[in-house]
Amino acid sequence: MDNEMIEFDIGLGGREGDDDFVEIEHPVEDEEMVDSPLIGSASGSVNGVGFSGGSGEIYLPEGDLLDLEPYDGMEFESEEAAKAFYNSYARRVGFSTRVSSSRRSRRDGAIIQRQFVCAKEGFRNLNEKRTKDREIKRPRTITRVGCKASLSVKMQDSGKWVVSGFVKEHNHELVPPDQVHCLRSHRQISGSAKTLIDTLQAAGMGPRRIMSALIKEYEGISKVGFTEVDCRNYMRNNRQRSLDGDIQMLLDYLRQMQTDNQNFFYAVQGNEDQAMGNVIWADPKAKMNYNYFGDTVTFDTTYRSNRYRLPFAPITGINHHGQPVLFGCAFLINESEASFVWLFKTWLMAMSGRPPLSITTDYDPMIQSAIMQVFPQTRHRFCKWHIFKKCQEKLSHVFLQHPNFEADFHKCVNLTESIEEFESCWLSLVDRYDLRDHEWLQTVYSARRQWVPVYLRDTFFAEMSITQRSDSMNSYFDGYVNASTNLSQFFKLYEKALESRNEKEVKADFDTMNTSPVLKTPSPMEKQASEFYTKKIFMRFQEELVGTLTFTASKGDDDGEFISYQVAKFGEDHKAYYVKLNVLEMIANCSCQMFEFSGLLCRHVLAVFRVTNVLTLPPHYILKRWTRNAKSSVILEERSSDVYTNYLESHTVRYNTLRHQAFKFVDGAKSSETYDLALDALKEAATKVAHAMKNDGRNVMLNGHIRGNMVGGGSRADYTIGDHDESSGQNLSEDDMDKKIREITNELDCANRKCEVYRANLLSLLKDIEDHKLQLSIKMSGGRQRTLGGGGQHVLDYLKRMQAENPAFFYAVQSDSDHSGGNIFWADATARLNYNYFKDAVIFDTTYRKNRYRVPFASFIGINHHGQPVLFGCALILNESESSFIWLFQTWLQAMSGRHPVSITTDPDRLIQVAVAQVLPHTRHRFCKSSIFRETKEKLGGLYTSHSTFETEFKKCINESEMIDDFESQWHSLLQRYYIMDNEWLQSMYNARQQWVPVYMKDTFFGDFAVNEGSGSLTLFFDGYVTETTTVQILLKQYEKAVVSWHEKELKADYDTTNTMPILKTPSPMEKQAANLYTRRMFKKFQEELVETLANPATKIDDRGTVATYRVAKFGEVHKAHAVNFNSSEAKASCSCQMFEYSGIICRHILAVFRAKNVLTLPSPYILKRWTRNAKSGAVLDEHSSDLPSNSRESVTVRYNNLRQEAIKYVEEGAKSIHIYNVAMNALQEASKKVAFMKNQGSGTMHDSSLANGGSQEMQAIEENQTAVFQSVDEKEKKIHELSAELDNTNQRCEVYRANLLAVLRDMEEQKLKLSVKVQSARLSLKE
């Protein structure tokens, strides 16, 4: 035994400055099984048994030496040998050792005695001087329990060390062999393990994966000999050692950057020449970004998880596109608290000393302490993702045993809505998984206010939702800097990342400015937000806004200042949110606090805004940092100190308040009894607003407040209306004016009543005459009824019933002196109204003649502003003679108030052609091209069969000829090529070419979108409704179905046009203008032409002063050029293609010239009203329009929509200033009184004269009180003129009705006399 050598390599060293690394020669704080490696060597011998180290291997004694135990008198060659032996003994037994005390020689100061003790020896002294004056930041578990086990050695004169005392017994349990590797004095990293760690670290692996590889390699954690933290610390030391040689490269780079740009900032902690401290830098762009987006900051220490090889820590933020932006970078050579304090102070100095509102970092006590010192007012948040990752490490056994734990943990943290809910959920979680005493879990729970979302949502962190994962910690340099990046590679990758991020921001700016997001609702707020926010932020806001459609807001308490609402998703009342709304200041607070956390309004507040008619975002809810102008100097509207003044001066508030009142008025007045009165009252109120606007123009604006013009010499408008000019109110006192107003009002009431009596008698008389004519016609044309299958009477009964329900319904039955007629025509009120708007192009559809219909049913059709067919009337054609068609067109024209269309399209028929020429001599008559193509195929069936190319060439000749000469040439060439020059049918069609070949027709408007477009809409309106099997009885039902269906399609197209924004394809102001003017379909056609101008350059070929000629051709197709004449003084142009004349949409050729001449918006002559969204607005140009309905009694929906449309116009005008707003509100209240009175009367069905027929004292009082609305002499004067003019018009209308009634009565007497003579003659002839 004396000759055996036992070699050990036992690490007993430590790392300076880390509590986890302690030299064994000195007393230390308590440690027991703590995570820290011990690295070192020792050598010596014991009674001939030597210990030597340094080879990196561990040599353990064999055989009996495994049981070697210390004893008094045992000798060692050195102190280190004694230390190593006792530590080896401790490993076998199961405890950890440390050095307790030592004695030195007074002679030379050398150590002559040592005592090695169990790590649990003694007790912790909490009153030590070093802990008295400072707060213990990381209190550790007490592990000292007063264990007496120890080994004492002293040096002999011979230089050897001898055991002078040994205590074997311990007062605590010893550690089993499978855990002894966790004890401090027994943890060491062997040479082979170091080699493997170095290799795997270079490959980019982190400590967790490296430890897994080591455990697999050594077949167990106990045989590895150290812990994961030991591995982590070893890797950290490696990284620092590798960086020491390269740090000068970093400093050289930073110096060069500062030389290139003096605004580049960098600083080095300590002595720059030695370069041993931390380094921080920020380029000018980072400093500028902080000015715009410095409200929330992230300090990214991803490198600590060994994802980076370099100790590189960027400081980032979030820009207005939700992208990460850089605020600075740091290299952390030293991770002490003092170093972090220096780092944050230096960075704050570079950012002009403005601290952020919030900061997000890893969960680290030293970083936390540094932030508390440097940013005492900044809200500090720990990265939730980092804590979740740590949770997977610390609770790996729980994750393995309980698969549901992770989901429950995430739900507890992310989905709890209140602090109470989180606390309850947390306690339930730790109890359910028996984790109440888990040390790490208790630690993060103690810090819950700094990472659990429910505690943080009152502070801005620029995240789109409270439960969003905070993964921006490592997003800026992802894909550029990784675990294999060394310092020489770093600079290029760093600059590449900056360039890439800048490109992404530029692209996001471009997308935001040049593309319009698709709007999903008709909300003005959505449109407003789409114009303010960047694209990504708008999409997030849009998500919230659309989400309001599934939420209900129920009104709760109202204390006068605040109104409380409970907001919940439909069917989820148990998950309600609570919103408090201050109506005066338009401030709302929600319990979810999303606005405070993300800077975007939540769906709960938006739901309340929706129910309270707040249609646009109040300016204080538009955070500039999320807008397109985030980086501009434009500041959004600030809240005024005078709350009430701000309330009234805000156009948004005036608009919302007036709109709310107007819609209440509409809701109360949409019934059939009050509709007409409400519409008149609303128009009267609009007149007052218009007058107020005129007066408002005389006012001046001072500091945002309207001050009336105090000068009294302003001119007044002169009125000269009828016989009341002399007494219209000038030179009258105010009392006389009031009296005058009452007198004229009474006269007007009388005139209205008299007019209504005449009108009713006239209508009744005309109806009797029509009924009589119908009955006579039926009797005289009994034979022709058989063509209707016996259903003639059924049709007539239906038409009578329709006219009885609505006097504006028109119908007629052909009957003349020869009794050869029998055709029936009708047009409902909507058809007659549609003709007022779209009468320019008409189609007479006689599809039945091709045996497609069983019933001889024909229709008059037009094209509306959406390009959809609209009905102008229907006919049953029982007689197809020339006179019958003439009667039909004359009757239709009479129903349409005698106004001729610009063009009409019919089948090619001689009788129809003659009738059109006689009845519509100034209307351009076109034959349906598709009918001619179809008939040509029938006439030339053999040619079509034998020559398959003929049809294509024939249609090409017709459709693609650009000029008349081209057509003529191609036509003759075609006929010669196929030897059909003498074909009678083709010759007849050629003779009529000016009525069907497009090249001859393009100077006239037909409502088609292209000259060569097929006129296939002849059968479009009733397609799918009327077929060859449809009988007369079924016809009327199908007719109504078709009318309703097309009406619904028009309403849908109206809705889509009004409430959706088309996607713009160019930055052209003209495109934007067109998008706002045209209907959706018309805009797409215009957009197609506009986009094509980019491929159609315009070249000037002639200039005659104000008129220049341009040649416009598609690139590469000069042979297909078009000529455009442009008058620069009038901004007018005409093109040889004549597309505008034919379709009403300007062609790409003129648009190309406009572009070349910098005409950036469409001149008004080129905006055809019939294609715009306002095609059906404005006055109807029909002197007989009083006989037509305004759809007011067709349905509640139509009445409501009409009133609502008028109300919106009223609100837009009324919100323009405070003065106008007050006038509008007063006038609206007066209108409401009228409607309320009429509703209370309960008089049943009312007509236009209901107000005039009222006559009660209460109504009279309302009229008299109305004069109080007019506060000025000007207004009373104007009222007198208006009433006088209305009285004149009513008297004139009354005279017309009276004259017509007398004329009809005279005609009836004459007809009766003639009929009496004829009857008498007939009787005499019968007698003979």
Per residue in 282-339, pLDDT tens?
A: 999 999 999 999 999 999 887 665 455 577 889 999 999 999 999 999 988 778 888 8
Residue 636 has pLDDT above 70, yes or no: no
Q: Which residues of 18-42 are buried (b: 16+ CB within 10 A; e: fewer)?
A: eeebbebbeebebbbbbbbbbbbbb
Least confident of 275-279, 612-616, 723-727, 1218-1222: 723-727
pLDDT value of position 726: 41
Average pLDDT of the residues in 202-216: 77
pLDDT value of position 747: 84
Please give the structure tokens belonging to residue 1093.
């101008």
pLDDT value of position 107: 80
pLDDT value of position 294: 93
Which residues lie below 8 Å from residue 988, measured CB to CB, with a gap of 6+? none
Higher local confidence (pLDDT), 918 or 13: 918
SS3 category, 1190: coil
pLDDT band at 11 (very low <50, low <70, confident <90, very high): very low
Residue 961 has pLDDT above 90, yes or no: no
pLDDT band at 851 (very low <50, low <70, confident <90, very high): low
Residue 613 has pLDDT above 60, yes or no: yes
Residue labelled with tokens 């004149």: 1288
pLDDT value of position 1241: 64
Region of residue 863 (phi > 0: left; psi between -120 and 50: alpha; otherwise: beta): beta
Q: State the number of CA atoms in the 13 A half-sphere of 2 facing the CB.
A: 3
Contact 293, 626 (CB under 8 A): no
Higher local confidence (pLDDT), 1185 or 1029: 1029
Q: What distance in Å separates the CA atoms of residue 1119 and residue 90, rounded to the nearest whole number? A: 102
Closest-CA residue to 1009 (of 1126, 908, 1142, 1205): 1142
Highest average pLDDT, of 214-228, 341-355, 572-586, comes from 341-355
Residue 539 has pLDDT above 90, yes or no: yes
pLDDT value of position 731: 59
Higher local confidence (pLDDT), 900 or 1283: 900
User: Residue 1098: which H helix or E strand, with range?
Assistant: strand 1098-1104
SS (H, E, C) 345-405: HHHHHHCCCCCCCEEEECCCHHHHHHHHHHCCCCEEEECHHHHHHHHHHHCHHHHHHCCCH
Closest-CA residue to 830 (of 1043, 1018, 1020): 1043
- The residue type found at 1049 is K
Per residue in 237-259, pLDDT tens?
A: 766 666 655 677 888 888 999 98
Residue labelled with tokens 């070419």: 993
Per residue in 88-108, pLDDT tens?
A: 888 888 898 988 888 888 888
Please give the structure tokens belonging to residue 464.
């789109």
Q: What distance in Å separates the CA atoms of residue 580 and residue 556, rounded to the nearest whole number? A: 9
Residue 493 has pLDDT above 60, yes or no: yes
Contact 1175, 1169 (CB under 8 A): yes
Q: Which residues pair with 1172 in a beta bridge?
A: 1078
Residue 779 has pLDDT above 60, yes or no: no
SS3 category, 312: strand
Q: What distance in Å separates the CA atoms of residue 976 and residue 958, rounded to the nearest whole number? A: 16
| CA 1138 and chain centroid, separation | 40
- Burial of 813 from C-beta contacts in 10 A (0-12 / 13-18 / 19+): buried
Contact 1297, 758 (CB under 8 A): yes
Q: What distance in Å separates the CA atoms of residue 1323 and residue 1311, rounded to the nearest whole number? A: 18
Please give the C-alpha separations between residue 233 and each of 34, 237, 306, 368, 1028, in angstroms, as whole numbers. Answer: 13, 6, 11, 21, 91
| CA 358 and chain centroid, separation | 28
Provide the percentage of residues in the chain whose pLDDT is more than 90: 23
Contact 74, 153 (CB under 8 A): no
Q: What distance in Å separates the CA atoms of residue 827 and residue 839, rounded to the nearest whole number? A: 14
Least confident of 81-90, 655-664, 1053-1062, 1135-1144: 655-664
pLDDT value of position 1080: 92
pLDDT value of position 14: 34
Least confident of 347-356, 716-725, 1144-1153, 1266-1275: 716-725
Average pLDDT of the residues in 801-819: 78
Residue 37 has pLDDT above 90, yes or no: no
Residue 62 has pLDDT above 50, yes or no: no
Average pLDDT of the residues in 867-875: 92
Q: What are phi and psi of 1050, to 5 degrees?
A: -70, -40
Per residue in 579-596, pLDDT tens?
A: 999 877 889 999 999 999
pLDDT band at 1198 (very low <50, low <70, confident <90, very high): low
Least confident of 125-129, 643-647, 753-757: 643-647
- Considering the chain, what is the average pLDDT of its residues? 76
Contact 53, 41 (CB under 8 A): yes
Radius of gyration of the chain (CA): 48
Higher local confidence (pLDDT), 951 or 661: 951
Please give the structure tokens belonging to residue 65.
């030496």
Q: What distance in Å separates the CA atoms of residue 427 and residue 429, rounded to the nearest whole number? A: 5
